[in-house]
Amino acid sequence: MKKKMSRFSALLMCAACFAFMLSGCGGSGGAQGGAGELRVFNWGEYIDPEVIAEFQEETGIRVVYEEFETNEVMYAKLAQDPSAYDVLCPSDYMISKLIEQDMLQELDASRLTVAHEEIGDSYWKESEGFDPGNKYSVPYCWGTVGILYNKTMVSEPVTSWSVLWDEQYAGSILMQDSVRDAMMIPLVMNGVSMNTLDEAELEKATQMLIEQKPLVQAYVVDQVRDKMIGNEAAIGVIYSGEAIYTQRENPDLVYVIPEEGSNVWIDSWVITNGAKNVDNAYAWIEYMSRPEVALKNFDYITYSTPNEGARALIEDEAIRNSEIAFPDLSRYKLETYVYLGEEGDALYNDYWMRIKSE
Amino acid sequence: MFKNKKTSAALSAPYTAWMTIFIIVPLLMIFYYGLTDSQGSLTLANITAIGYGVYFKSLLLALWLSFLCTLICFILAYPLALILARVSKNAGQGLIITIFILPMWMNFLLRTYAWLTLLEGNGIINGILSFLHLPTQHMINTPTAIVFGMVYNFLPFMVLPLYNAISRIDTAVFEAARDLGAGRRQTLFRITLPLSVNGIISGVTMVFIPALTTFAISTLLGGSKVLLIGNVIESTFTQVYDWHLGSGLSIVLMIFIIINMIISNISDARQEAEG
Amino acid sequence: MKKTIERGYMVLILIFMYAPIVTMIALSFNASKSRAKWGGFTLQWYGSLFTDGPIMRALVNTLVVAVLSSLIATIIGTVTCIALMGMRTRTRAVIMGITNIPMINADIVTGISLMLLFRVLGLTNGFLPVLIAHITFNIPFVMLSVLPRLKQVEPSVYEAALDLGATPVYAFMKTVLPDIMPAVISGALMAFTMSIDDFIITYFTKGVGFNTLSTLIYSEVKKGIRPEIYALSALIFIAVLTLLFFSDRIPKWTARQKKD
């Protein structure tokens, strides 16, 4: 008995030594802030990991990289501790919310020469909608929300959001697990703005989503990708950036922007007011704006890049002029999300919870 | 050492401090936030919220699913514990127990996630079913899948106390029962079950609470379509960011935990009385 | 006949318990990055695993937290048990009652309560909050293991040592400690296991930029787990299996059942 116990304590000691050894070289991952560090908070699967490694190698800055799934989750974490991250990549409406709540710092354009050089004018202009004067944000990726469907499972070409209410696809429909994207669909179908605060309209949209719920297989975020590739579902609501990747893995998949219209979004880099490594944050944004870096990210995550320099570098002509990656926006009815204010947020949330608990 | 009061007080001081700061104060904070609103004034609204809409529904559903889970665990575990108690008399019991405990050493999220691959529409189980020309089943993203995941995760918590209780029963009792002409069924219902009732109670309490409060299993296997009280509380903290409401709902959960605790204390006391 | 049924039932339960683990190991050899597609056999994930920053950091964090928290909890827990022996029954009952709270309470409530405290204290960075949380829920496991053993210790040997001129510390080390050592070690191991296994409390208390394997896996789950994680779990599984093989059985599995 005793012998056995001492063997265990030996094992425990080994584990302890091993752990300390590793922690010596690996670092315990704590985010203390200070010289030579940068705390980045970005969407999941939204960067080529090699880019982070190369950035660290070139600049000697140690990157503490964390990911979020939705703008709302990102906000909750930031609200906990506004100085927890240096640089973030939220979407349009969330950026205006952060600006309004004084959580971001104004950027010094003279320190962002590469970004202003390489990123297309139209995207800067588009950004004015949520960031007047382009004072706070630098575009990173953009895209639309649409429907991805499997042409072997869906007989007719999809043109309308109404396919998501079609009973013959019961159990094969994937919805986005995020308030704004889910509510946007019925609102647009009813011809209402996706930023409406009209309670009657919201109630109507909520009823439609509740009605739809039995047909929905799951509310997911990034899992749409895997499930569509694996033929687990026939139809999914997805961001345009995922379309190229999923088509590469499963050629039966088709992406469309429904005729009723949809959401167009921009995700941009911003620096928090509580940032402890402001210089490094500028270095990061500039680095991400380099054409070859943006291209590398584009190849990896396949989300549309606002970086004109990068687009020019794309070798495959079909992709460079792809209607999915770089659509002609004037052909579609598109709208950006606008920050609804705290009460608006709470209103949307209440409706969303009701849908989820049905 | 054993008697000296001063030394005892000195030695227990670090833990008493630790306990106060990290057990008592946090609980008081839950009560503070749960009983106030964002202006800091006293309110019961965060607690009575449980009676309305989403919160009431998710609590009811969680109660129902965790009840099902506990029942299924019991039905599966009891025969298993009987077999284990018998078999372990000959074969090394360590090995058998190891077989049932070993999976618990793997990360439970990963194990639960792996069920996704098994249960989904084109998953492995449906693959086998269609290979056998049997109708395929829709399993994933339903409350059934969640109960399934709960049973999978918490079954060992039911098996172990039952096994403990049953293997502690003196075999002479069974022999006596047989000598007195009791049939197999009679022995089970009149001897084994009553004598293992403490094991049953501790198994039930150990399965019910984690099942009632889970949010990870329902997220993984429910496809976010099924909202349990655990999910609601989690999202009030991580998405809606309302500490007051979240704390209020946690207080409601604690009521169930306290009921549970009282039941298991009664059973413990009885066990001690029995010797 | 009865034996066949019994054996059949055991096999079914075994399949139920191990099916996901087998699936997981199989997926670790899947060349396709997507869980939904079999892309042929590969060993590449086992290679890329060791260069994967987030996974390796989470592994290190998990181990560091587990080792430190179980070590500190063992020391505090054992010392407290000794102190409890000299206390009045009433005081002892109160302390034990409070100690039991984290074990009886649902993890989600414990996690949230600690999170509230850490937020108010401004403890939101790195691994310190997680370490404190783990120590807190580990101490009860150590005390539950050590206290019954300590109650059985005969004070007479210790008192004899004192009479012979030993200092209290020396006498304790030589007479009492060897007696309670097995209980101390099994308490420590239990604490270690609990710490490795924990997800919910870590999830609520972890600071920015800090992940243990559990929380990393939870965030990965939502976007599709990278195959490297399967490879790591397969390795961990084999390591645990080997450990068991050499130590015959998991020590004190019985005490584990008290959890949750």
The answer to whether residue A2 scores a pLDDT higher than 60 is no
Which stretch, A139-143, B167-171, C89-93, has highest mean pLDDT? Answer: A139-143
| B232: nearest CA partner in chain A | A353
Q: Which residues contact C182 (CB under 8 A, 6 or more apart)?
A: A1, A2, A5, C149
User: Nearest CB to C125: which of A20, A30, A67?
Assistant: A30
Mutate to test the interface with A, among C55, C56, C67, C243 (most CBs of A within 10 A): C67
Distance from CA of B238 to the nearest CA of C (A): 9
Contacts 24+ apart (CB under 8 A), C172-178: C172/B1, C172/C82, C176/B1, C176/C82, C176/C150
Region C72-90 average pLDDT: 91
- Nearest to residue B198, comparing CAs of B271, B124, B114? B271
Distance from CA of B81 to the nearest CA of A (A): 27
Give CA–CA dist A7/A272, Å, rounded: 51
Strand partners, B42: B36
Question: Whole-number mean pLDDT of chain C?
Answer: 86
Which one is predicted more confidently, B99 or A338? A338
Q: How confident is the model at residue B274 (pLDDT cuts 50, 70, 90)?
A: low
B positions 188-207 inside 8 Å of A (CB)? none
Q: pLDDT of B104-139, one tens digit each?
A: 778 888 889 888 888 887 778 888 888 888 887 778
Torsion of CA A185, A190, A191, A193, to 10 degrees: -50
Contact C225 B15 (CB under 8 A): no
User: Nearest CB to C36: which of A26, A221, A229?
Assistant: A229
Q: Looking at chain B, which subunits does it touch, using at least 3 CB pairs closer than 8 Å as the criterion?
A: A, C
Residue type, C247: S
Domain that holds residue B185: 53-274
Distance from CA of A312 to the nearest CA of B (A): 39
Residue B7 lies in a domain: no
Contact C20 B152 (CB under 8 A): yes
CA C146 from centroid of its chain's CA atoms = 17
User: Is the dihedral angle over the CA atoms A153, A157, A161, A165 positive or is it negative?
Assistant: negative
Flag whether the ipTM exceeds 0.95.
Answer: no
The answer to whether residue C66 scores a pLDDT higher than 90 is yes
B positions 35-74 inside 8 Å of C (CB)? none
A230 chain-C contacts, CB cut-off 8 A: 34-37
Query: What per-residue confidence (pLDDT) applies to C260?
Result: 39
User: Nearest CB to A28: which of C61, C119, C188?
Assistant: C61
Tokens found for residue C224: 């599709």
Query: What per-residue confidence (pLDDT) applies to C213?
Result: 92
C192 chain-A contacts, CB cut-off 8 A: 12, 15
Give CA–CA dist A352/A344, Å, rounded: 12
Is A234 within 8 Å of A149 (Cβ atoms)? Answer: yes
Contact A219 B241 (CB under 8 A): no
Query: What per-residue confidence (pLDDT) applies to C111?
Result: 95
Domain boundaries, chain A: 37-142+265-325, 143-263+336-357
The answer to whether residue A64 scores a pLDDT higher than 90 is no
Residue B74 lies in a domain: yes
Region A99-107 average pLDDT: 94
Q: How confident is the model at residue A29 (pLDDT cuts 50, 70, 90)?
A: very low
The secondary structure of chain C as a DSSP string is -HHHHHHHHHHHHHHHHHHHHHHHHHHTTBSSSSTT----B--HHHHHHTT-HHHHHHHHHHHHHHHHHHHHHHHHHHHHHHHHHTS-HHHHHHHHHHHHHHHHS-HHHHHHHHHHHHHHHT--BTTHHHHHHHHHHHHHHHHHHHHHHHHHS-HHHHHHHHHTT--HHHHIIIIIHHHHHHHHHHHHHHHHHHHHH--HHHHHH--BT---HHHHHHHHHTT---HHHHHHHHHHHHHHHHHHHHHSS-TTHHHHTT--
Q: How confident is the model at residue A21 (pLDDT cuts 50, 70, 90)?
A: very low
Architecture of domain C52-256 in this structure: Orthogonal Bundle (1.10)
Q: How confident is the model at residue C258 (pLDDT cuts 50, 70, 90)?
A: very low
Between chain A and chain B, how many beta carbons pairs sit less than 8 Å apart? 55
Kindly state whether A177 is in contact with chain B, defined as any CB-CB distance less than 8 angstroms: yes
Is C120 within 8 Å of C126 (Cβ atoms)? Answer: no
Q: How far is CA A50 from CA A292, C57, C191, C225, in A?
A: 13, 17, 38, 19
Query: What per-residue confidence (pLDDT) applies to B89?
Result: 67
Q: Which residues contact B2 (CB under 8 A, 6 or more apart)?
A: C85, C86, C155, C158
Q: pLDDT of B193-231, one tens digit each?
A: 888 888 899 899 889 999 999 999 998 898 888 899 999
Query: What per-residue confidence (pLDDT) applies to A220?
Result: 87
The answer to whether residue B273 scores a pLDDT higher than 50 is yes
CA C189 from centroid of its chain's CA atoms = 7
Q: How confident is the model at residue B272 (pLDDT cuts 50, 70, 90)?
A: low
Q: How confident is the model at residue C251 (pLDDT cuts 50, 70, 90)?
A: very low
Question: What whole-number percentage of chain B has pLDDT above 90?
Answer: 36
The answer to whether residue A186 scores a pLDDT higher than 50 is yes
Q: pLDDT of A213-260, one tens digit each?
A: 999 998 988 888 888 988 889 999 999 998 888 998 899 999 999 999
Give CA–CA dist A15/A17, Å, rounded: 6
| B126: nearest CA partner in chain A | A232
For A84-88, B182-186, C42-46, which range has the lowest pLDDT when averaged over its residues? Answer: B182-186
User: Nearest CB to C248: which of B94, B116, B234?
Assistant: B94
Give CA–CA dist B235/A80, Å, rounded: 14
B positions 208-267 inside 8 Å of A (CB)? 223-225, 227, 232, 237-241
Strand partners, A144: A264
Question: Whole-number mean pLDDT of chain A?
Answer: 87
Q: pLDDT of A329-338, one tens digit each?
A: 888 999 999 9
Residue B143: which H helix or E strand, with range?
helix B143-168
Q: Which residues contact A353 (CB under 8 A, 6 or more apart)?
A: B53, B54, B227, B232
The answer to whether residue A11 scores a pLDDT higher than 50 is no
Query: What per-residue confidence (pLDDT) applies to B172?
Result: 83
Give CA–CA dist A114/A145, Å, rounded: 29
Is B146 within 8 Å of B218 (Cβ atoms)? Answer: yes
Residue type, C88: R
Query: What per-residue confidence (pLDDT) applies to C33?
Result: 74
SS3 B246: helix
Region C157-179 average pLDDT: 87
Mutate to test the interface with A, among B61, B224, B228 (most CBs of A within 10 A): B224
Please state the φ and ψ torsions of residue A255, each to the nearest 5 degrees: -110, 130
Q: How confident is the model at residue A15 (pLDDT cuts 50, 70, 90)?
A: very low
Question: What whole-number percentage of chain C has pLDDT above 90?
Answer: 36
Residue B99 lies in a domain: yes
Contact B225 A349 (CB under 8 A): no
Q: How confident is the model at residue B91 (pLDDT cuts 50, 70, 90)?
A: low
User: What is the number of domains present in chain B?
Assistant: 1
The answer to whether residue A195 scores a pLDDT higher than 50 is yes
User: Nearest CB to C221: which of B101, B109, B253?
Assistant: B109
Question: What whole-number percentage of chain A has pLDDT above 90?
Answer: 63
The answer to whether residue A8 scores a pLDDT higher than 60 is no
CATH number of A143-263+336-357: 3.40.190.10
Q: pLDDT of C172-217, one tens digit each?
A: 888 889 889 999 998 998 899 889 889 999 999 987 778 899 999 9
Query: What per-residue confidence (pLDDT) applies to A275?
Result: 93
Strand partners, A239: A145
The answer to whether residue A41 scores a pLDDT higher than 90 is yes
Does this chain's domain A37-142+265-325 share its CATH topology with A143-263+336-357? yes
Residue B149 lies in a domain: yes
Tokens 């509740």 belong to A210
Helix axes A71-80, B229-238, angle to 10 degrees: 60
> Residue B222's domain is classified under what CATH number?
1.10.3720.10
B23 chain-C contacts, CB cut-off 8 A: 98-99, 101-102, 136
The answer to whether residue C3 scores a pLDDT higher than 90 is no
Q: So what CATH class is A37-142+265-325? A: alpha beta
The answer to whether residue B262 scores a pLDDT higher than 80 is yes
Which one is predicted more confidently, B174 or C224? B174
Kindly state whether A14 is in contact with chain B, defined as any CB-CB distance less than 8 angstroms: no
Tokens found for residue C116: 């509230």
Tokens found for residue A244: 């190229």
Is A112 within 8 Å of A207 (Cβ atoms)? Answer: no
Q: How confident is the model at residue A28 (pLDDT cuts 50, 70, 90)?
A: very low
Please state the φ and ψ torsions of residue A67, each to the nearest 5 degrees: -120, 150
Torsion of CA B9, B13, B19, B20, to 10 degrees: 100
Query: What per-residue confidence (pLDDT) applies to A32?
Result: 40
Region A108-117 average pLDDT: 94
User: Nearest CB to C116: which of B12, B30, B76?
Assistant: B30
The answer to whether residue C35 scores a pLDDT higher than 80 is no
Q: pLDDT of C97-137, one tens digit each?
A: 899 888 888 999 999 999 999 988 988 777 899 999 999 99
Between chain A and chain C, how many beta carbons pairs sit less than 8 Å apart? 135
Residue A256: which H helix or E strand, with range?
strand A253-256
Kindly state whether B255 is in contact with chain C, defined as any CB-CB distance less than 8 angstroms: no
Mutate to test the interface with A, among C189, C223, C235, C244 (most CBs of A within 10 A): C223
Query: What per-residue confidence (pLDDT) applies to A60?
Result: 92
Q: Which residues contact B167 (CB under 8 A, 6 or more apart)?
A: B84, B85, B88, B93
| B224: nearest CA partner in chain A | A219
